[in-house]
Every structure is written in structure tokens, then in C-alpha cells.
Structure 1
Amino acid sequence: MAGAHVRIDNRLIHGQVTVAWTRRLGVRRLVVCNDDVAADELQRMLLPQAARGLPTDVFTVADTLTASAGAGVMIITKDPEDAFRLIEGGLRPEVVNVGNVAPRPGTGYTMVTRSIAVTADEADAYRKLAATGVPLVTQLMPQDKPAEFVPLLDRKGL
């Protein structure tokens, strides 16, 4: 399953994804990949509506791995652990892009960039993900220059 674009974004589907990224990457299908979201009937109904007509699936990690992915598919995970499980399961994206990760109330987080909040546990998960050898970058918008993600964690002491 090479060729799919993987983005970590806890907001899942929103304007940046449905407009800027899908156009730039030629995305023909979105896959939201998270076990909890896939188990939530309301989210399974609402997320495809947010995709503005783009075919959208809401899958567990296991279902994402068995679905046909490849060029033209953008997989959006809610957190780094989901992305790690995909790669551990055999997915081979060219890159994993850390997009928007909004802070969650009640968690001790550090703002790594103006749009990415990271807890200590998530920092460990990002490092584990980077250790797979798949490039881990952050690139908020397609016109932005991608930045290696682990050095950003290092600079923040995570």
C-alpha cells in the first residue's frame, strides 16, 4: 500500500484538508483512520459531509490496512499512534505530515508550532513513528516548506 498520503490532524476533515491539500495532491478519496471515530455512528455520518463531495471512508486502523489505498488517497489519522500502527501494519507512505493538532483540555501539552500541541506521551509516539524510517514532517499548508518534526520536539525539550 504505497502512495497514500498520511496526515496526522486531530480535527480530521476541515477546510485546509478538503480544499488546499486535496487539490495539491490530486486526492480522489479521503480515509479517516481511528478506531474510536469509526465506532461513533454520528462521526461516521458527519465526516463524509464535511468532505465537500469527496468520497470518504471512516475506518478503524485494521480496516484501513485491508482497504485498497494508493495514489489519490489521503489517510487522516487523529494521532501519531494511529499512524504508527498503519506503518507497522505494512502501509508505506512517502511521508507522514503532522498537520493541525489542537490542544485537548485537561492535558499537559507544549505548543511545538503555532498549530501543533504535543503531550509527553505523544512526543514518545512521534519519535517511535520517526524511527520507522518514514519521513516525519510538519507542513501546515501545501505552499509551506516542510520541516522535520523530531528537531522541533528536541527544541521544545520533548
Structure 2
Amino acid sequence: MAGAHVRVDNRLVHGQVTVAWTRHLGVRRLLVCNDDVAADDVQRMLLPQAARGLPTDVLTVAGTLDAAAGTGIMIIVKHPQDVFRLVEGGLRPEVVNVGNVAPRPGTEYTMVTRSVAVTADEADAYRKLAAAGIPLVTQLLPRDKPAEFVPLLDRKGL
């Protein structure tokens, strides 16, 4: 199962995604993938509204695997562990864009870029993805040059 663009962004659906990325990639459908978010009635109602008319589903990892066939799909995950579970389930993204990951209160994290905070557990998940042959980049906006993500983890000692 390949073809979908995957972005790690713990803000999920917001302007950078709904305007810049969807236009740049020709996205026709968003899949928000995270088990906890999918179980939250409020988020399941609000996130599609934030997508500005773009068809949007808020799904579990298993639900995302069932829905991810086809073209023009962008999968937005909250955590790298979500991506790893998708890959374990058979999804083969061409690239995973670590877009924007704000620090979570109460966690120990390292700022890998000005917009990406990484905990030790997340660093492990990113490295497992890389070991599985999944290319990882960080790119905030389409106009920005993508940067290889694993060397940034290396530089920060993660």
C-alpha cells in the first residue's frame, strides 16, 4: 500500500496543511490518524471543520490502513509511533515529513529544529522507521527545502 503523503504534525489540521500542503500535493482527502484522537467525539467533529471543505476522516491506525488506498490522500499523524504502526500494517509511504511537533508539557524533549521537538521514545520510533527503509525529512512548508531528518537526530544526540 503506497502513495499517500504522510506528515507528522501534532497540531493535526491547520492552515499550513489545509492551504499550503494540500494545494502543493494535489490532496483531495485528509486522513487524521491517531487512536486517541479518533476516540474523542469533539476532535472527530472539529478537525473536519478545520479542513476548510476538504473531505477529512478522523481514524484509528487500523481505520487509516483500511481507508488509505487510492491517490490524492494525505495522512496526518500526531506521533511517529502512529506512522510506525501504519508501516507495520503494510503502508509504504514514499516519504514521511516531520512537519511540526510542538513540545508536550511534562515531557523531556530536545528541539531538533525550530519547529520539531523530539522525546527519546519518539527518536526511537523515527529510527525504527528509517531502519525499515522509510525516508524521513523535515519540511515545514512546501517552499522550504526538505532536510534529511535522521542526521538532525544524530546532531542532537538522540
Shorter-chain TM-score: what band?
Answer: over 0.9
Deviates more, 1:61-70 or 1:37-46: 61-70
CA distance in 2 between counterparts of 1:121 and 1:82 reads 12
Q: Contact (CA 8 Å) 2:4, 2:68: kept in 1 or not?
A: no
CA distance in 2 between counterparts of 1:15 and 1:113 reads 20
Query: Which residue in the other structure is 2:135 paired with?
Result: 135
The RMSD of aligned alpha carbons is: 0.8
Gaps of 5+ in 1: none
Query: Which residue in the other structure is 1:11 paired with?
Result: 11
CA distance in 1 between counterparts of 2:68 and 2:150 reads 30
| 1:2, distance to aligned residue in structure 2 (A) | 1.3
Amino acid at match of 1:129: L
Instruction: Check if 1:155 corresponds to 2:155.
Output: yes
| 1:134, distance to aligned residue in structure 2 (A) | 1.4
| 1:69, distance to aligned residue in structure 2 (A) | 2.6
Number of residues paired by the alignment? 158
CA distance in 1 between counterparts of 2:68 and 2:90 reads 12
CA distance in 2 between counterparts of 1:69 and 1:79 reads 21
CA distance in 2 between counterparts of 1:104 and 1:69 reads 32
Gaps of 5+ in 2: none
Seen in structure 2, the aligned counterparts of structure 1 residues 109 and 68 have a Cα distance that, compared at 3 Å, is: closer
Report percent identity of matched pairs. 85
**Equivalent position SS for 1:12:** coil
The C-alpha deviation readout for 1:44-82, integer Å capped at 9, x for no partner, is 000000000000000000011111433200000000000
Amino acid at match of 1:115: S
Query: Which residue in the other structure is 1:88 paired with?
Result: 88
Amino acid at match of 2:135: P
